[in-house]
Amino acid sequence: MTIGIIGAGAMGAGIAQVLAGAGHPVRLLDQSADALARATAGIAANWQRLSEKDKLSTADVAAATARLHPTSALADLADCGLVLEAVVEDLAVKQALFRQVEGVVSADCWLASNTSSLSLTAIAAACQWPARFLGIHFFNPAPLMRLVEVVPAAQTRPGLADEARALVASWGKLPVLAQDTPGFIVNRVARPYYGESLRILEEGMADMATIDWALTTRGGFRMGPFALMDFIGHDVNYRVTEAIWTAFYYDPRYRPSLTQKRLLDAGYLGRKTGRGFYDYAPGAPVPAPIEDNDLADNIVRRVVAMLINEAAEALLLGVATRDDLETAMTTGVNYPKGLLAWADELGPTAVLATLDELFADYHEERYRASPLLRRMARASQRFF
């Protein structure tokens, strides 16, 4: 199958590298000649590094390179069996793009979006034949991250998501199936990792260095939330939070933080600008955490309870299966364990007690416990 990738930014280039490496002829489309040149040079450099590490043979690199075809002509996508877009996260832009694509490709060509936060159903609504449209959401960097969320729109024909899932698996990726709800699995379930950590900071319970230290050393997370937000970039992380909050009709569970918004407004986007929550200028002092184990345990208890609650709510509402939820969070964001398994380890009753304690203190809907978690605790049941 020949596959078209629209958008030669970091995501589009990464996806093109994956698919060309998996044996597909790839048409990488972008209107910018500079973007195409950067993408192809970057892909070539990545393949060269893999060859130097004996992970790809010279023949493999040559074959993959021959399968990659950069282009600025939409007509070059005419022979594609799948066209996947990775352009700016703007609904109107994506809708207009697929209207154009449908005028070029054959009737049996699949159409897919790599969106992380927009409604796939809304994108599909712009298509003349929306039954062939769905979401195939890679994580950045696409060549390294195994997880891919496969998300059917309301209009997607029955069976297409399963076919797409099998195709994604053939690329060496780990696909999970998600419902078309805001944030799908990972970006939805992960919100409390940032949101509750920001709330703890704003309350003065602990500073950012201490929160990061607590969640990495005591919680087992690979990166603390403030270092991770700086790594992702506040222009991305904040706007995903805002998009999910808006899409859920301003549910307090997903409310963005004014503290993070101020960084965005100031242009302090994190590592990419040299300043975010932390200062990345050469010689800048590195804040030291307060290594208080009791404080650390309280931080971890609070953040993990909120994450478990979000996973339980996603399971209750059919966002994904139990196993796909666990796979998504351990593979997509490298959590130390699946959140539902973590609930079993701590005990649903203990997790519920933490949430009810927070709700009693704040009387805020953000701390409302999932009915599923409450039922599990009442019946002394486990998720596994």
Domain boundaries, the chain: 3-177, 188-378
Q: Give the tokens for residue 191.
A: 């919100």
Active site residues: 116, 137, 149, 187
Fold of 188-378: N-(1-d-carboxylethyl)-l-norvaline Dehydrogenase; domain 2 (1.10.1040)
| Angstrom distance (rounded) from CA 354 to CA 343 | 12
Neighbours of 342 (CB within 10 A): 22
Q: Answer for the pair 64, 111: CB distance below 8 angstroms, yes or no.
A: no
Neighbours of 67 (CB within 10 A): 17
On the 0-12 / 13-18 / 19+ scale of CB atoms within 10 A, 251 is middle
Residue with tokens 């859920």: 248
Q: How far is CA 41 from CA 14, 18, 28, 34, 175, in A?
A: 12, 15, 13, 11, 28
Q: Kindly tell me the number of DSSP H helices and DSSP E strands found in the chain.
A: 17, 8
Q: Give the tokens for residue 211.
A: 């929160």
SS3 state of residue 130? helix
Phi-psi region of 363 (alpha: psi -120 to 50; beta: other; left: phi over 0): left
Tell me, what's the pLDDT at 117? 83
Regions in the chain scoring below 50 on pLDDT:
none
Q: Give the tokens for residue 67.
A: 């399968």
| Angstrom distance (rounded) from CA 289 to CA 285 | 13
Q: What are the backbone dihedrals phi and psi of residue 4, each rounded to the nearest 5 degrees, phi first?
A: -100, 135
Tell me, what's the pLDDT at 81? 98
Highest CATH level, class, for 3-177: alpha beta
Q: Identical fold at 3-177 and 188-378? A: no
Cα 24-28-31 angle, rounded to 5 deg:
170
Residue with tokens 């603390």: 224
